[in-house]
Structure 1
Amino acid sequence: MLALVGCTSTQPQQTASTDTGAAPTIIEELKQPLDNQLLKEWTGPYGGIPAFDKMNLSDIKLAMEQGMEMHLREIDAITANTAAPTFENTIVPYEKAGEALGRAMIYYGIWGSNLSTPEFRKIQAELAPKISEFRSKISQNTQLFERIKAVYDQSLKSPLAADQQRTVQLIHEEFAMEGAGLDQAAKQRYAAINKELSSLYTSFANNTLADEEKYITYITKDQLSGLPESFVKAAAKAAADNGKPGQYAITNTRSSMDQFLTYSDNRTLREKVWNTYYSRGDNGDANDNNQNITKILQLRDERVKLLGYDTYADWRLQNRMAKNPANAMNLMESVWPAALARVKEEVKDMQAVANASGAKITIAPWDYRYYAEKVRKKKYALDSDEVKQYLQLENLTQAIFYTAGELFNFSFKPVPAGSVPVYHEDVKVWEVTDKTTGAHIGLWYLDPFARQGKRSGAWASQYRSFSTFDGKKTVLASNNSNFVKPAPGDPVLVSWDDATTFFHEFGHALHFLASNVKYPTLNGGVRDYTEFQSQLLERWLSTDRVINQFLKHHKTGQPMPASLVAKIKKASTFNQGFSTTEFLGSALMDLKYHTVKDPTGLNPDTFERETLKALGMPKEIVMRHRSPHFTHVFSGEGYAAGYYGYLWADVLTSDAAEAFEEAPGGFYDKEVAARLVKYLFAPRNSMDPAEAYRLFRGRDAKIDALMRDRGFPVPKQSSKK
């Protein structure tokens, strides 16, 4: 979908330019005061902040409709200009357009991701097709595209300043990919397809969320065997919150499911919880997503064929680092055999443990985590729950601040409660400044806990992105997690995997905060590159400085002992068969779906089973995201045909990590850190990602480091990215 700056972006923009030739009546209308609270300019400290304390759901529908109308008028002001198209009279006002709508979109996104309710979902269903129609009116505006194309064509003859050239290139490319050059009949069909897809995406996401909220497994005291005390307390609280005091709730979220499957001794309940989680969107009821998948694939295929592409993946990957589906598939297929081989070893080890304990079973998917944990203890004397006692969320938060200070020279200071509005009492806010100069950089919001109406998983978002072309805009960044809220007075203890994810998502926030670009469009990203920065930040969790200073026992305050650290590092490649295979299962399936030349009538259940069988997917493992709840791919287009991007980015991650490992100062080497910020974080999308990486590393990335990190054999002939 077209990333309309100031519309789908979280970057609030200024009102349109008053270039010579713009219609006076339009300009006067644009200056009219805004009455709707959700459209109003942000006021207060820090360059203005969202009025989350004044959010009213009854305002959102009108705010979105009025905001879209205002944005279209701002576009009209650009196309009404009779002067020859230039960067200043076309691209600059385009970058400014949509300020009011951008503000409304922030609130709309908060309700959609963090505070969803049946009432909001009804509004969302009504607005989704209207938003799609609005986007089509811009992406298919012939006069606007002609002006953009004129500026672009001229820039090829007389190049602009580098950042302006990149901005024009990206905007022109996006319009061209969205069918701006099609004839009128094709444009109408293209817009109709997008409108229908927008409703399907909303339906898919809401169906998944409904199943996460609806299906909760309640257990009793006699069924708690094996479960850690912290989990039991949190499960008791969750049950009480849902009107079931005296019971224990296993919510249908990854954080709850994963812990239960790892520790519960009750195999029957493990199977039930596993089935409940992995059948989301696949229960044959009103929330079933299988028909949505088929229709989405059909419409995506029809749309790209209007543009002359064979498959959706061919269209989607043309401006990604992979460039085409074959390159993405080649990378995955180079790792897949090693992952499958490792799974066989892991299953063999687990089966031996099960047999030795007298359990007359064959390892099944709901056994994998449970027996993997037992193998971990046996092979490495490493107890995940023991590790968890040193992973307190409050300390991990200080650890990411320390890392940001050492690498980026950032300082984080809590904002006094009440001085910055928040949309929920769980949300906390910090001011980010430069450690040396004290200059204000932005705000960082943290929303850490799972709750009713909040989508699952972890993510980062930004309420305002950095730019300087129309006055300096500072950053408002947010991280959102779904940690299980503890019983009152208890610490928030998380797993090593969840701690890694916390660092990962903070990496996205640092990417926002470190931005040093002039134009809003340059804050975008290439999907198989933008995960690289966040994946790289995960590496600092296991550095000695973080471990020694911040990983302290929640009761004694003692740092994690060297013996336990040694076990963690020794076991770093443990269970890589499972983690790599469950990810690649989803990534391969995503690309297989989107390289089908005619998906008409495709049955997702059959396609999933047959494709995984052909790939040799182990029966003991399921895809990380099964098709009926694969929201990355089917609730929008951000990761569609692009879920492989995590692996592509991880090749860069492993290679870049070795640059730090080889440096005199290790992961805190000042010279390498300076290159990291200069070339890989601050530029955002103002330069080609491959060139940016070469400037950082001095060469292209190779797959060797990735294979070493996972304990897999390194290919005889190293492949370059």
Structure 2
Amino acid sequence: MEAHLADLRAIVNSDAPDPLEDDEDDFDSVLGAYDRAGSTYRRIVAVYNSYASSANDQAMRVVQTRMATRLSRHESRTYDVRGLFDRIERLHRIREEKMKGGGWTVEQVRLVERVYVDFVKMGARFDDATKREYANIQDKLASLQTKFMQNVLEDEEEWELVVTEDDMAGCPPDVVAAARREAIDRSKGPLDHVLSLRRSFVEAFLSRSSRRDLRRIVYEAFSKRGGGLFQGRDNARIAVEILRLRRRLAGLHGRDSFAEFRFEDTMALTPEAGMRMLDDIWMKGKDAAGREREMLESFLSEDGGDIALEGGIQPWDWRYYAERHRRAKFDFDESEMRPYLSLGAVTNAAFDVSNKLYGLKYVKREDIVAYHPDVDIYEVRRVKENGSGEEQIVAIFLHDNYSRPHKRSGAWSSYYRKQKKNLADGSDPIEAVPIVINCNNFSKGSTHTLLSFADGITLFHELGHGHHAMLSDCFYEYLSGTSVLKDFVELPSQPIVLKKHMKHYLSGNVVPDDLIARFKASELFNEGFATIEYTSCAMLDIALHSLSEYGDDFNLTKFEHEYLKERGMPQGIVPRHRPLHFSHLFKSGNYASGYYVYKWAEVLASDAFAAFKETGDIFDRTTADRCKKHIYSTGNTVAPHELFRRFRGRDPDATFMLRDRGLIPMS
């Protein structure tokens, strides 16, 4: 931290031009040096953040609790080095002149703009008293957000339901095996199985278990994570305090709500614009979910209704009866696909697509030791563009795929080192090679790990983020990597990919054409449920952060119920994330009033994939090269909306996503 601050002070004390003189400038001595400052600190924090997500044992939690406010305080200090903002502001003031005159590149202008915006958002224009208040609020937020995340993680780790193999009735062998492995990991008896709260397991259990009583127990425990599952851990007070502090931050910037403040620096620009997109999807999703419920109720009536569904289908029923209806209507059982979707097969498919589109080759490095034995490490190579045929290393890639204790749930992509060319004198060129990590949470099998199709999509999705980091070709680290658009590698459902890589994990037989045909026929079944489950979270997020005040009696759970009732939440479906474990919103501020971006990214992804389909070849290299040039390699050197226009020649069109999801008819 001290070295980082020393680097920043050196910028002010260097021979850079006086910020009040407009007749000369030295971009590198200010912005170039700013981009290089604190390189050791950033490397350590990248490792620290990865451990906090993937190896968060009790000792790490103690460190995290102690460090939360110290890290926040340091970040505030980096934006308050006396004289630094004056120099940045001056360069920002002359940026258009310098670009027109040919003195600065487009990337340099973008760097000035992004650094300037970030300083302003961190209070660079505030007076000293307001800066102190702003820093104090950030400290409190850091501490509360850390506690929120730890409460959720501890609930997920501690809750368990010990059952027998007979209690797993209806579950496919790999789900039964996952429950048995969980029992072994928790040192239970030789015949015990354990139901846990890992999302991949919960969703599989709710889809297949014929024991309605156990489905309800698991669902209700999963729903209560972070709020009332264990005495002494309740995120209700923490979440509301976070909301109040964020509202105060927005107020210091003269904004009426945190949503208004946050949306200013997005493609949507306003909360109203984000909500309009969600409203359209919501209404189509409600229509689809209504049709789906009618089908399920009709199916139950014909089936004789083997259980009494009091009050209609409940949240612990929907997945189970949807899966039964899928099997009856389409003669398709998702468990038929799992033997052809081993983790190894799906990984090979993803790497093959990566190679076909972008020429990347993944070479496993058994000699490199990671933070856990389950993590696979690859050297990512590509043939040099100079025609020599030689290969060059473009990245180191870590693949951390299994759920385990002390690892947070969900899936994410991160990095230990970002790509850059702005190296200090004497730096080893290897410092420019990114180190990228993809984390998933698949239930590890005893011999083979078999995935659901949704799991396979998740693996591809995260590799799409990995491509952003690995294919980045920016000069300045500040702008490189995963700063912009997401989700461009959504290809695993294409038959050409399935036929090549989907082989039975035991026999090696290729997936039958008949099974693919039955899967494709059923693929969009229950899409209304999935749309409502996600969109309700995104709308609730914006609505929560659009409030101008949170009174002393504000109740987050009550707000959730009343808001969703007002919007006509379909009976039997609940939001994918309930507020008291909604980590996207409350473990940090990254997705606060921004959870909608996943659906927006899906709009972009469907539109981008349509560009490949329009060529008649989903692996068209010309289109892939254009995508790499305008999307993956450019980082944040150009505004995201302009990047998409360069790739597609127009603004994004949501029609492709709505058709892909079956929410509007295919033309």
Distance 1:195 1:572, change over 3 A: same
3-state DSSP of counterpart to 1:621: coil
- Pick from 527, 531, 552 the counterpart of residue 576 of structure 1: 527
Q: Does 1:72 align with 2:5?
A: yes
- Pick from 155, 158, 162 the counterpart of residue 211 of structure 1: 155
Return the offset for 1:279.
0.6
3-state DSSP of counterpart to 1:542: coil
User: Match for residue 411 of structure 2?
Assistant: 458
Q: Does 1:306 align with 2:252?
A: yes
3-state DSSP of counterpart to 1:537: coil
Cα separation, 2, equivalents of 1:583 and 1:187: 37
3-state DSSP of counterpart to 1:444: strand
Q: Does 1:550 align with 2:501?
A: yes
Structure 2 letter corresponding to 1:516: D
Moved more, 294-303 or 467-476: 467-476
- Pick from 276, 297, 308 the counterpart of residue 351 of structure 1: 297
* 1:645-670 Cα shifts (integer Å, max 9, x gaps): 111111111212211111132x1112
* 1:151-205 Cα shifts (integer Å, max 9, x gaps): 1112233222111111111101111111110111111111110010000110000
3-state DSSP of counterpart to 1:668: coil
Q: Does 1:502 align with 2:455?
A: no
User: Match for residue 194 of structure 1?
Assistant: 138
- Pick from 276, 294, 310 the counterpart of residue 330 of structure 1: 276
- Pick from 543, 548, 566 the counterpart of residue 614 of structure 1: 566
Return the offset for 1:286.
2.0
Return the offset for 1:141.
2.9
Return the offset for 1:561.
1.0
Does the 8 A contact of 1:141 with 1:180 survive in 2? no
Return the offset for 1:82.
5.2
Return the offset for 1:447.
1.1
3-state DSSP of counterpart to 1:541: coil
**CA-atom RMSD in angstroms:** 1.6
Cα separation, 2, equivalents of 1:358 and 1:633: 39
Report 1:22-101 matches (<5 A): 68-81=1-14, 83-84=16-17, 86-101=26-41
Does the 8 A contact of 1:210 with 1:287 survive in 2? no
Does the 8 A contact of 1:404 with 1:410 survive in 2? yes
Return the offset for 1:564.
1.3
- Pick from 121, 135, 152 the counterpart of residue 61 of structure 2: 121
Report 1:556-595 matches (<5 A): 556-595=507-546
Q: Does 1:430 align with 2:378?
A: yes
Cα separation, 2, equivalents of 1:623 and 1:338: 16
Structure 2 letter corresponding to 1:299: L
3-state DSSP of counterpart to 1:92: helix
Does the 8 A contact of 1:353 with 1:374 survive in 2? no
User: Match for residue 663 of structure 1?
Assistant: 615
Cα separation, 1, equivalents of 2:537 and 2:192: 35
Return the offset for 1:73.
1.5
Cα separation, 2, equivalents of 1:642 and 1:547: 34
User: Match for residue 366 of structure 1?
Assistant: 316
Cα separation, 1, equivalents of 2:153 and 2:411: 14
User: Match for residue 22 of structure 2?
Assistant: none
Cα separation, 2, equivalents of 1:502 and 1:166: 32
Cα separation, 2, equivalents of 1:699 and 1:242: 54
Cα separation, 2, equivalents of 1:156 and 1:679: 22
User: Match for residue 70 of structure 2?
Assistant: 130
User: Match for residue 272 of structure 1?
Assistant: 217
Structure 1 stretches lacking a partner, 5+ long: 1-67, 717-721
User: Match for residue 530 of structure 1?
Assistant: 485
3-state DSSP of counterpart to 1:481: strand
Moved more, 331-340 or 358-367: 358-367
Distance 1:376 1:468, change over 3 A: same
Cα separation, 1, equivalents of 2:169 and 2:379: 44
Moved more, 105-114 or 490-499: 105-114
Cα separation, 2, equivalents of 1:302 and 1:75: 28
Does the 8 A contact of 2:313 with 2:571 survive in 1? no
Does the 8 A contact of 2:420 with 2:473 survive in 1? yes
- Pick from 25, 28, 42 the counterpart of residue 102 of structure 1: 42
Report 1:139-538 matches (<5 A): 139-159=79-99, 160-245=104-189, 246-283=191-228, 285-355=231-301, 356-359=303-306, 360-361=308-309, 362-415=312-365, 417=366, 419-435=367-383, 436-470=389-423, 472=429, 473-487=432-446, 490-523=447-480, 529-531=484-486, 534=487, 536-538=488-490
Structure 1 letter corresponding to 2:58: P
* 1:402-427 Cα shifts (integer Å, max 9, x gaps): 00110001111111x2x222111111
Cα separation, 2, equivalents of 1:468 and 1:714: 47
Does the 8 A contact of 1:207 with 1:287 survive in 2? yes
Cα separation, 1, equivalents of 2:392 and 2:185: 43
User: Match for residue 36 of structure 1?
Assistant: none
Return the offset for 1:597.
1.0
- Pick from 653, 661, 666 the counterpart of residue 710 of structure 1: 661
* 1:261-309 Cα shifts (integer Å, max 9, x gaps): 0110000000000011111011073221011111001000011111111
Structure 2 letter corresponding to 1:441: V
Structure 2 letter corresponding to 1:504: H
Structure 2 letter corresponding to 1:481: N
3-state DSSP of counterpart to 1:175: helix
Does the 8 A contact of 1:400 with 1:503 survive in 2? yes
Return the offset for 1:525.
5.2
Cα separation, 1, equivalents of 2:214 and 2:662: 33
Return the offset for 1:537.
0.8
User: Match for residue 676 of structure 1?
Assistant: 627
Cα separation, 2, equivalents of 1:330 and 1:391: 37
Return the offset for 1:584.
0.4
Return the offset for 1:313.
0.9
Aligned residue pairs, count: 638
Return the offset for 1:394.
0.6
Cα separation, 1, equivalents of 2:452 and 2:472: 31
Return the offset for 1:707.
1.5
3-state DSSP of counterpart to 1:509: helix
Structure 2 stretches lacking a partner, 5+ long: 20-25, 384-388
Cα separation, 2, equivalents of 1:338 and 1:83: 57
Cα separation, 2, equivalents of 1:406 and 1:386: 28
Return the offset for 1:69.
1.7
Cα separation, 2, equivalents of 1:610 and 1:139: 40
Cα separation, 2, equivalents of 1:248 and 1:431: 38
Structure 2 letter corresponding to 1:205: M
Cα separation, 1, equivalents of 2:234 and 2:614: 51
User: Match for residue 629 of structure 1?
Assistant: 581
- Identity fraction in percent: 33
Return the offset for 1:437.
3.3
Structure 1 letter corresponding to 2:406: G
Does the 8 A contact of 2:172 with 2:208 survive in 1? yes
Structure 2 letter corresponding to 1:486: G
